[in-house]
Amino acid sequence: MDKLDAPLYNAVKRAASAEARFCMPSHAGAAEGPLFASAPFDFTEVEGLDNLACPSGVILEAERKAAEAQGVARTLFVTEGSTVCMHIALSLAKAREEVACIGDMHRSFYGGCALLGIAPLCFGSAGEFLRYTRKNGNVSAVFYTSPDYFGNVADDAELVSECAKKGILTVADSAHGAHFCYSGLLPDALSGKADVSFCSTHKTMASYTGGALLNLKDDSMYDEAVCARQLWHTTSPSYLVMASTDYCRALWQRDGEKFYADIKARIEEFWQNAQGVAYTVEKSDDFSRLVLRFEGYDAAEASEYLVGKGIYAEAAIGDRLIFIVNPFNADKLGLLHRVLQGFVPSRKYEKPVLPEREKRNAFGKAEFVPLDKAAGRVCLNEIGFYPPGTPFIGRGEVFTADDVAVLTKNVGCTFGLVNGKAVVLQ
């Protein structure tokens, strides 16, 4: 492969040829076995590799190139996923006044709010939020998700425009949209619209797990964001993650148009072949997010069937099975279709009906109770299912018997429980 325009990646490659390493990490780049094949490139802040806490060399240069690709003024690297990006963004928002959110938010939003002492105002739609702000002037920041887990992009033009006029900070959780800016076939890049956005390069591109980018539309909050990153981020960032983030930016910037032209052609072939099988293809704004719907049947059953054949999906959510298609697996779509032809669904799925829950004060001492004892108690820790990572029960809501039954049935994919116990108000 030709040398890529990836300054951090190339610097790490050069450092990997060192004669001896007496620094962290202590595998010294020499541990053996397949698991440690990347060990020579796993470094710490040695001479020539810069420092994420206060970048001034190859990391800063890599961040500048990422910002140019994303179409923003500044980009900050993160090695702990969009969760840390969310917490940085919440720190920027808290420096203002009231924080709001629109629609379903990832658990990291609610966790960050709890850590920062933020009580967010929650709205079901952008229209509802805008109607509120036209009558009330206290909201100063609003968070929303785009694209969602199924590849659908929010129509946020009116939201961003009106918020800009009112001085309301807009923050887009674009964790699943890191690839958008690299092909004209994909939706418009979300970064550059909202004041702050963030995306996970490990979700739809080629970086190692944890690679993420925090994007700032202009320079006005750059110092604040770097300061917040110092507070939230580990002081031992993974150079494997950072170098791979720089690598995939350079590779996608060079070949992205070709990548997604090929993926689109293969996806369209998959759509044509998907007639008369157990699923339908649910199209979304992002064609590389393949969503198969097993109408009335539990998609987890299909996922289990595929795992038995050596094929892993991204997620089973209700009766929908999700696949992230990228340049490294698009050629396997034919295999996926052939294997699914042998699948006959049998496990019914009924979408749970969310009850109208009582809400109470959620401040006080926490108690950990077995899940079967949670009915009637006040939730102190958001609980939901991953994926997609959005809460089923929110802080301050009172558990119902139906809640306990649903959670017990799905405990294997539940977040927010602690050793199988619910965190409730004492």
346 domain-assigned: no
Rounded Cα distance between 156 and 137, Å, is 20
Whole domain around residue 37: which residue ranges? Answer: 7-252
**Same domain, residue pair 11 and 64:** yes
Domain boundary among 252, 286, 302: 252
Cβ atoms of 90 and 116 within 8 Å: the answer is yes
**Same domain, residue pair 237 and 301:** no
**Same domain, residue pair 19 and 163:** yes
Number of domains in the chain: 3
Rounded Cα distance between 21 and 41, Å, is 12
Question: For the segment 285-331, what is each residue's pLDDT rounded down to a tens digit?
Answer: 999 999 999 999 999 999 999 999 999 999 999 999 999 999 999 99
406 domain-assigned: yes
**Same domain, residue pair 54 and 148:** yes
Q: Please list, in sequence order, all residues whose beta carbon lies within 8 angstroms of the beta carbon of residue 84, skipping any fewer than 6 positions away.
A: 78, 212, 229, 232, 233
Q: How confident is the model at residue 14 (pLDDT cuts 50, 70, 90)?
A: very high
**Same domain, residue pair 159 and 26:** yes
**Same domain, residue pair 99 and 229:** yes
Question: For the segment 222-281, what is each residue's pLDDT rounded down to a tens digit?
Answer: 999 999 999 999 999 999 999 999 999 999 999 999 999 999 999 999 999 887 789 999
CATH number, domain at 287?
A: 3.90.1150.150
Longest dimension (CA), the chain: 67
CATH number, domain at 64?
A: 3.40.640.10
167 domain-assigned: yes
Q: Which string of DSSP letters, residue by residue, matches 141-199? A: EEEEESS-TTSPPP--HHHHHHHHHHT-EEEEE-TT-TTGGG-TTSPPPSBTTBSEEEE
**Same domain, residue pair 27 and 97:** yes
**Same domain, residue pair 332 and 394:** no
**Same domain, residue pair 182 and 237:** yes
**Same domain, residue pair 93 and 45:** yes
**Same domain, residue pair 409 and 299:** no
Which SS3 state, helix, strand or coil, does residue 294 take?
A: coil
How are the residues of the chain apportioned to helix, strand and coil, as percentages rounded to the nearest 5?
Answer: 40, 20, 45
Phi, psi of 415 (to 5 degrees): -110, 155
Which SS3 state, helix, strand or coil, does residue 26 take?
A: coil
Question: For the segment 45-100, what is each residue's pLDDT rounded down to a tens digit?
Answer: 999 999 999 999 999 999 999 999 999 999 999 999 999 999 999 999 998 879 99
152 domain-assigned: yes
